[in-house]
Amino acid sequence: MTTLLDSPAGAAVENTRSVGHPVTFAPAALAAFAAAYPDFPAPLTHGLADHPLLTVDAIAALADRLPGAQVEYNPGKLPLSITAEDTPRPTLSIAQTIRTIGDNGSWMVLKNVESDPAYAALLDAALEPLRAVVESRTGPMAHREAFIFLTSPGSVTPFHMDPEHNILLQIAGGKVMTVFPAGDTMLVPAEKSEGFALGAHRNLVWDEVFRDRGTAVPLEPGDAILVPVKAPHFVHNGDRVSISFSITWRSERSVAEGELHSFNRLLRACGLPLVRVSARPERQKLARLGYRLMRRLVA
């Protein structure tokens, strides 16, 4: 298994550690981001580990304020491969889950915390230093969202993918994220991408033969990782309560990739030849136009 710290981006992170990082992303972390975005995962560092909005108490207060639909919590002792339907239902309330997170074996996420003004400001401040690089490579930073993960010691987040550009900032406790390359059809078959583009669940089927394709990235408070759109990953939490803050955005590239897989779902259903989804799907303007026309015809 390779290590991301062997890469140029990793060397930049080492520089960050020695200089310190009083702001969300110090210059060396920004350089590591710029070296990797948007195609490759990269370890980064950040300065939010002691932020008062990201303590257990602040998160518990936020969970009380958010609508119930924005708080998802599950038992955290899960196998790497599990379907949404087979995931056991929680037996504790949200408040009980947070209060006893140290020993209840749970995994919880507060979704779209930017709906709260204080967290919206935190998300904007964290993303602003990245905007110039993002806009120059993948267009405007759209659909900005933030998530907070609170997990019990030993919890496992099963093998899955996400539709956004994501930076996961480790705030408390430790975890190891094993991340795999995006666009590997052995890991994510085309049919899965097509279903995912149309709303199918994020979880993927795990096979041990995949393991050597992944990179295990340890995350301690102050560490972060850039996770490309649909780069498969799973997470093992360490022996302490873990808090992670995820800052995400969409781009013309992520939208185009979803459109082309949706197009292929329609083409496949009609028995027609599929389009190739390239590494630069935003440039496939003819195919994207074809999708929009076909969607109108079948609507």
CB of 255 to Fe ion, least distance (A): 19
Residue range at the interface with Fe ion (CB under 5 A); choices 1-9, 154-162, 212-220, 278-286: 154-162
**Shortest-Cβ-distance residue relative to Fe ion:** 162
Please work out the total of residues on this chain that contact Fe ion, with binding judged by CB under 5 A: 1
Contact between residue 150 and residue 251 where contact means Cβ atoms under 8 Å apart: no
Asked if 215 and 182 touch (Cβ cutoff 8 Å), the reply is no
Residues 92/106, Cβ–Cβ less than 8 Å: yes
Cβ at position 37, least distance to Fe ion in Å: 17
CB of 248 to Fe ion, least distance (A): 10
Residue 162 binds Fe ion (CB under 5 A): yes
CB 223 within 8 A of CB 10: no
Of 2-10, 31-39, 142-150, 162-170: span binding Fe ion (CB under 5 A) = 162-170
Return the number of the residue (37 or 234) whose C-beta is nearest Fe ion: 234
Quick one: which segment of 90-98, 113-121, 161-169, 271-279 binds Fe ion (CB under 5 A)?
Answer: 161-169
Distances in whole angstroms, Cα of residue 181 to Cα of each of 44, 231, 242, 247, 264: 17, 5, 25, 20, 21
Nearer to Fe ion, 4 or 28 (CB): 4
Q: Contacts by 283-289 with C-beta closer than 8 Å and gap 24+?
A: 284/256, 284/260, 287/260, 287/263, 288/256, 288/259, 288/260, 288/263
164 lies in the site for Fe ion, by CB under 5 A: no
Q: Is the separation of the CB atoms in 106 and 73 below 8 Å? A: yes
Question: Assign residue 205 a region: left if phi > 0, alpha if psi is -120 to 50, beta otherwise?
Answer: beta
In terms of CB distance, is 54 or 109 closer to Fe ion?
A: 109
* Closer residue to Fe ion (CB): 109 or 266: 109
Q: How far is the CB of 233 from Fe ion (least distance, A)?
A: 6
Nearest C-alpha neighbor of 113 from the set 162, 147, 144, 73 = 147
Rounded to the nearest whole angstrom, what is the least distance from the CB of residue 251 to Fe ion in the complex? 17
Nearer to Fe ion, 162 or 282 (CB): 162
Select 196 or 263, whichever has its Cβ closest to Fe ion. Answer: 196
Q: How far is the CB of 227 from Fe ion (least distance, A)?
A: 7
Which residues of the chain form contacts with Fe ion (CB under 5 A)? 162
